[in-house]
Structure 1
């Protein structure tokens, strides 16, 4: 077995062990409602078992990381597949650290799915080990990316705890405007998570069926001499093309539900590499999320938040709020070092300037300012409880847009990360 296939095997093991840990955390929390004589003992016992599986999953994840590093000859954080798997590993590490501090099994029921979703999302990107492009051939790659991801990982744990707090405290029996607004906010957050799950499910389903479509589009660029050049570029689709690239010619397309040609075309104003495919992916993600959400609502016959909320009964809301705050407080200085200070030093070495208003730089600054505002409002204005938790949830949505949306939708100097 080659090292690359061995590393992939360890990642697969980590993924399934994370899933087992999640199910055991659910048993730990939900099982106390099954009529046990000593519910607290049940929670502690199964929580410890679940945590053990989470640690095993993390160790498998670490083994994947180092075996892939050995195979590629450089730290595996240079593209979306590698970075997202690394982020999933760091979220698991952040969860382990926070769990050891607070010993709260219910946190695992919300933190482990974040790692699971991110690892599953990473798996839709090409797995090939690629040589580093010149811009990444620097020791700052290790320093900048690892510290930035570590900070974001603690933000992810803060998000999980914040969402737990909201599910614990929002009144699902209330009918006031405030109650309904909070209920809709939680439902929207769960819907966003299901969009990612739906997207991953769609990608794996069509990959398993061998679906493929290909188009040829003209791409214009400026060469080193300043002359404009136009070439024909092939664009491969793994999802059925609802939108083909602008003014592209179809090369091949496997029929899907009687559709043998793309019914729509990406608008002319959508610029950037593979804009049509990205629009198609976005639409498919929304459709998959809507279908998945509708199916779950049909099964549950009530809002998803109302299904999960009873599991939070008996949990100290103040403890959860404190966990969310502490996780973000730990992550913020680490993120400041990695995403801003180290990033600017590397930018000065690579591009001759500390700051250039590249989209990724701008959104990293927006993320930093958002969490600065979170900490200011929490410490100086007394924004605790629901206000603080809503900010923790919204903040991680900003983080995910910075990681995914900016890399895959907005063109810039960091676009190589979306390969």
Structure 2
């Protein structure tokens, strides 16, 4: 079988599968009574993950090295990471809301790689001497997985801001719970808020949030409050998974740099932005763990982190210089 032809078939197939999966998650969220769509969404992400893994495996066999050395390969590895993070979070929390945001992210990345990059950038090329190292797999794969995880967590934070319309929200309970215990707590709080609102003399079901700086009281429905709490918790947990990966990736890169060039750190544009990314998410976790931040403030910080991750990954390529540049297509 022609491995190059197989790669092109798999990259187009992965895009198609993820596009359909995105529609399934969106329709399933809009029409909750269509419960049969839930397993279809999970299956779609699993099939997309398998297609991308097959593409990368064929690339590995064809080129003879771990396929993460150019923009095309790294984009597909990033998309694979997004689908893998999605499956881990969805299966561990039994919450399919994450697919509404991770599916379009993975689909967009695959569309950019398969449909936008010119053929010469999609072709595999021999590695330069500096990349012929086992550190290539260790450093770059961990960094790409951290990017994927942090992007998903940041998207959930952006979704939180959209749901709450950017208002400060007094969330019930703590975000530090794990697994089903935290989700059960959220459901119990929502049931309590719903019962309280139903017994109110008012005919509107509302859950009172905290006061804004103007002194006016913001109100949300119990359902929207439940959604906001879920997004806040999922975002915190996913970012908490991505930050250690980013830390390990940066350390591995420093060790590799010292082995290859005799210096742990050279303030290359990619290195500088990786440090900025680390500082942004370190501030996010510090604020949540030690300051007890929840809701709007950490969500804004994580949203800024989403932009910073993309600058670190793709933005520095616009400079056209540095040891880490994948190059650009214009």
Band of TM-score, shorter chain: 0.7 to 0.9
Q: Look up the match of 2:70.
A: 79
Work out the CA distance in 2 between the residues paired with 1:321 and 1:313: 12
Q: Could you tell me whether the CA contact under 8 Å between 2:25 and 2:41 is conserved in 1?
A: yes
Q: Which ranges in structure 2 are unaligned for 5 or more consecutive residues?
A: 169-220
Q: Where do residues 289-304 of structure 1 align in structure 2 (5 Å cutoff)?
A: none
1:352 alignment partner in structure 2 = 262
1:62 to 46, 53, 58: 53
- Superposed counterparts of 1:6-405, under 5 Å: 6-32=6-32, 39=33, 42=34, 44-123=35-114, 124-125=116-117, 126-170=121-165, 313=224, 315-338=226-249, 340-405=250-315
Structure 1 unpaired stretches of 5+:
33-38, 172-177, 180-309
Residue matched to 2:179 = none
Cα shift at 1:380:
1.2
CA 1:313–1:48 in structure 2 vs 1: closer, same or farther (change >3 Å)?
A: farther
Q: SS in structure 1 opposite 2:309? A: helix
Query: Structure 2: how far apart are the matches of 1:11 and 1:416?
Result: 19
CA distance in 1, matches of 2:5, 2:289: 48
Q: Shift of the alpha carbon at 1:97?
A: 0.5
Q: CA deviation at 1:59?
A: 0.7
Structure 1 stretch displaced more, 327-336 or 154-163: 154-163
Shift in Å, 1:10: 1.1
8 Å contact kept, 1:166–1:386: yes
Is the contact between residue 78 and residue 417 of structure 1 (CA under 8 Å) also seen in structure 2? Answer: no
CA distance in 2, matches of 1:57, 1:413: 32
Distance in 1 (alpha carbons) for counterparts of 2:252 and 2:260:
12
The 3 A distance-change label for structure 1 pair 114 and 331 is same
Question: What is the rounded CA distance, in whole Å, between the counterparts of 2:302 and 2:326 in structure 1?
Answer: 29
Scaled by the length of structure 1, the TM-score of the pair is: 0.62
Counterpart CA distance in 2 for 1:131 and 1:15 is 27
Distance 2:152 2:52 in 1: 18
Q: Measure how far apart 1:313 and its partner are.
A: 4.6
Paired residues of 1:359 and 1:410 also in contact (CA < 8 A): no
Q: Which structure features the higher share of strand residues?
A: 1
| Contact map agreement 1:360 1:406 (CA 8 A) in 2 | yes
Q: 1:261 corresponds to which residue?
A: none
CA contact (8 A) 1:143 1:342 kept: yes
For residues 264 and 50 of structure 2, the distance between their equivalents in structure 1, rounded to whole angstroms, comes to 37
Q: Counterpart of 1:109 in 2: which secondary structure?
A: helix
The structural deviation recorded for 1:417 is 5.1
Question: Which whole-Å deviations, capped at 9, do the CAs of 1:303-327 have from their partners, x for residues lacking one?
Answer: xxxxxxx9x8575321211100000
Partner of 1:2: 2
Measure, in 1, the Cα distance between the counterparts of 2:97 and 2:162.
12
